[in-house]
Amino acid sequence: MLCLNPHAIEAGQTMNTSEKTRIVGAPVLRKEGVQKLLGQALYVDDISREGMIHGATVRSTIPRGLIRSIHYDERIDWDAFTVVTAADIPGKNHIQLIFADQPCLADGVVNHCDEAIVLLAHADKHKLREAMAAVRIEYEALPAVFTIEESERREQIVWGTDNLLKSFLLEKGDVDTVWANAAHVVEGEYRTGAQEHLYIENNGMIAEWSEAEGVTVWGSLQCPYYVHKSLLAVFDLPENKVRVIQTETGGAFGGKEDFPSTLAAHAALLAMKSGKPVKMVYDRMEDLAATTKRHPSRIRHRTALDKNGKLLAMDIDLATDGGAYSTLSSTVLSRATLHSPGPYVCPNVRIRSHAWATNTVPYGAFRGFGAPQGIFAIECHMDEIAVALNMDPVELRRGNFLHDGDTTATEQVMREPVILDQLLERALKESDFYAKREHYARENASSAVKRGMGLAAFYHGAGFTGSGERYLNSIAGLDVTPQGKVRVLVANTEFGQGTNTILSQIAAEAIGIGYEDVEMAPADTRVVPNSGPTVASRTSMVVGKLIERAGLQLVAWLREESGLEERYSASEFFAACARYGAAHGEVVSLCRYEAPPNIYWDDKTYRGEAYPAYAWSIHVAQVAVDTNTYSVQVEDFWAVQEVGRILNPILAGGQIEGGIAQAIGYALYEKVILQDGHMVNNQMTNYIMPTAEDVPPIHIFFEEIPFQHGGFGAKGIGELPHDGPAPAILNAIRDATGVGYHAIPLMPEDIFAHFIAHEINVETVSA
């Protein structure tokens, strides 16, 4: 069938890969696509186990306080229920992540609304609901803090000794010597709100427990070995007594990175106490109220420039709201810090960043992981600077772009090609940026609908930050089944982004067999090695490279030991595998992570190679602001990017489009409303994401520069597209209306309030 793709990927024009490939780069079909289209793919709620009962969670209704007592109303026959509290935890009452401050179940104290206190299980879901309402918890309320400002004042200490979850100080040059002699100093403050992942499949888990087998969980999750590690601590079990199996996962976006560890422990505690399999699947209201969201941020910029608009100094003060426990706040803060200076050269940079504790549900991983916050601020600030200097925002950026050989704020030398100028040119040309901008400037004067063009330039570091990949020390590989298939052995999970497909392509390409000769081993900790979490845009680059190496290694072994010829067919390959298997008992090729050479990173000073590779992008937004309704419509969108080698053009395009749509929601629609730290709009009815009628045409263009340390030249792609839309849209709104807004989500009521406050009169003629 011909796919009518008006935005077909126009790669190849600048391809400089010398390596011809058959399967990598081809639009092969999604590996698990047929089951998904037939409705046969099994998500956790589609699975039932013999004798399975259902679990539910009783949660705190206050943001902070001491638990005085728990009453179980006598109208319920409690003997028919399984009841679990912190007292039932056999091991440690904490969720093991970076730190161990978050309890699995609240014990004597609660630090946020919707914190889990009591777990119930029963065969009948309706009776469960009745029982939940019959558990009454008495508290002694303590004062709570809800904002970054309240937390940093430290009048109430709600975490540790100072409310500070993490801080970084990054310094390059000496910013303080610059201000006095600078031609221009421009300041600005930028704020971003929380954002809900809104994966369409809510969090869910099934758990079983037995003396012989220990704990087994099946669930919707990104990181099987995170869940595994956490369950080991909660149950005090040896590694072979905990088994984690990922079920088909209906979207994640970071929202199933750390939270499943908590839900798995809850379901498993109920399974252990009841002796039965227990399913816990949240409904939408519970998922929205109780699970992680994107960190809100407040970022202040003070920037010095010379008379020509060259950056002289950047002083950045970055603060995030981390919520009640530390979870991933330290690493999110790290990525926010490292992305906050933008893709520019500046000799003097100081970044002070802090993650503050508040009495809200802990904020967590979400596509971009701090980068969208940092990039929102710098890219809005660049337009603010352009206004202050009376410069074209495009030329201001162009004059400060990083190039090959330049150093970043961490003094990382750009050794790989940086083609921002080329990406910018392409974006300007494809969007017809200047002509449109001029046209709208003329038209807007006599129209109630004001149109404008805005732009953002940015990078996204691929893989774990700094020394992260070395600590992860991932292992991944391949084996060959008796049925004559190569199986990919990774703990990296498929949740829509295409892990199954791209890793199968890489394996097939490296070995020289067909895509259909490769299958994925189940993401089951009993079957697959720990190839690290499925996060941080690391799967294509880091895990992809491990699979490429494992494939080449296997072929080399077969040549040495099993008589594989220089040229071979798939059947000759599998025949050689059979001979190898007969000699060795199995055919397994595993590889361990090796850092690219000359990588240096100092965790103390935050200096060195922050990321092994960067993806680069320019986004252009065209918006229409209706000055009668104050609504903003993104009418058209262009995204030009360099993400290394494109492994699969359909999947790559889908990642970019999906990320942009999600980020349009971040900018204009999605507002988490908290009252006393509890989300009150915890429904799809009043937490609004972009629909089919809201998403503009998205035009995507890839330039490909293969990265030799990534799987067949790939860098990271998944998070990049969420970084640019919000600032590009707000810059376009500035172009349309002349008003620079500094906070997202930017709702119609915010625009209305600004127009009223500033007595802005607009033409009321219709468009």
Partner 1 sequence: MSTFPAIRFNVNGEDREVRVAPMKRLLDVLREDLGLTGSKEGCGEGECGSCSVRMNGELVNSCLVPVLQAEGASVQTVEGLAAAGKMHPLQEAFLQCGGAQCGICTPGMLMAATQLLSVNAHPTMTEIREGLAGNLCRCTGFTRIFESVIAATAKNREERIEEPAHAR
- Residues at the site binding partner 1, with contacts judged by CB under 8 A: 1-7, 29-30, 32-43, 45-46, 197-202, 248-253, 283-284, 495-498, 650-651, 653-654, 657-662, 683-685, 689, 691-693, 695, 697-698
Q: Cβ 650 to partner 1, closest distance in Å?
A: 4
Q: Cβ 617 to partner 1, closest distance in Å?
A: 15
Strands 116-122 and 214-219: unpaired
The beta-strand segments (E) located in 282-422 are: 297-305, 311-323, 348-357
Residue with structure tokens 């004559």?
484
Nearer to partner 1 among residue 103 and residue 364 (C-beta): 364
Alpha-carbon span 392 to 735, nearest angstrom: 11
Q: Cβ 283 to partner 1, closest distance in Å?
A: 6
* Closest alpha carbon to 260 in 364, 345, 399, 145: 364
Nearer to partner 1 among residue 334 and residue 540 (C-beta): 540
Nearer to partner 1 among residue 725 and residue 727 (C-beta): 725
Nearer to partner 1 among residue 261 and residue 662 (C-beta): 662
Q: Cβ 94 to partner 1, closest distance in Å?
A: 30
Nearer to partner 1 among residue 39 and residue 108 (C-beta): 39
Q: How far is the CA of 291 from the CAs of 33, 233, 327, 366, 507, in angstroms?
A: 29, 21, 12, 12, 36
Strands 632-642 and 613-626: antiparallel
What are the strands of the beta sheet with 518-520, ordered from one edge?
A: 518-520, 486-489, 475-480, 588-592
Sequence letter at residue 373 = Q
Alpha-carbon span 58 to 134, nearest angstrom: 10
What are the strands of the beta sheet with 53-59, ordered from one edge?
A: 82-84, 116-122, 53-59, 278-281, 204-210, 214-219, 242-246
Q: Cβ 51 to partner 1, closest distance in Å?
A: 16
Nearer to partner 1 among residue 32 and residue 519 (C-beta): 32
Nearer to partner 1 among residue 188 and residue 250 (C-beta): 250
3-class DSSP state for residue 10? coil
Q: Cβ 337 to partner 1, closest distance in Å?
A: 28
Q: Cβ 47 to partner 1, closest distance in Å?
A: 9
Nearer to partner 1 among residue 47 and residue 527 (C-beta): 47
Nearer to partner 1 among residue 166 and residue 279 (C-beta): 279
Q: Cβ 257 to partner 1, closest distance in Å?
A: 15
Nearer to partner 1 among residue 329 and residue 655 (C-beta): 655
Are the CB atoms for 215 and 271 separated by under 8 Å?
A: yes
Q: Cβ 745 to partner 1, closest distance in Å?
A: 16
Per-residue burial over 579-603, b if 16 or more Cβ lie within 10 Å, else e, is ebbeeeeebbbbbebeeeeebebee
Q: How many helices (H) and strands (E) does the chain have?
A: 18, 28
* Closest alpha carbon to 474 in 555, 537, 368, 547: 547
How is residue 386 written in tokens? Answer: 């352009």
Nearer to partner 1 among residue 469 and residue 494 (C-beta): 494
Angle formed at CA 361 by CA 380 and CA 496, multiple of 5 degrees: 70
Q: Cβ 301 to partner 1, closest distance in Å?
A: 30
Are the CB atoms for 588 and 478 separated by under 8 Å?
A: yes
If you write DSSP's letter for every residue of 255-296 in order, what string do you get?
TTTSHHHHHHHHHHHHHHHHSS-EEEE--HHHHHHHS--PPP
Q: Cβ 516 to partner 1, closest distance in Å?
A: 15
Q: Cβ 676 to partner 1, closest distance in Å?
A: 24
Are the CB atoms for 695 and 661 separated by under 8 Å?
A: yes
Q: Cβ 224 to partner 1, closest distance in Å?
A: 17
Nearer to partner 1 among residue 202 and residue 292 (C-beta): 202
Q: How far is the CA of 429 from the CAs of 150, 432, 639, in angstroms?
A: 47, 5, 12
Sequence letter at residue 136 = R
Nearer to partner 1 among residue 447 and residue 497 (C-beta): 497
Cis peptide before 745 (omega within 30 of 0): yes
Strand partners, 524: 245
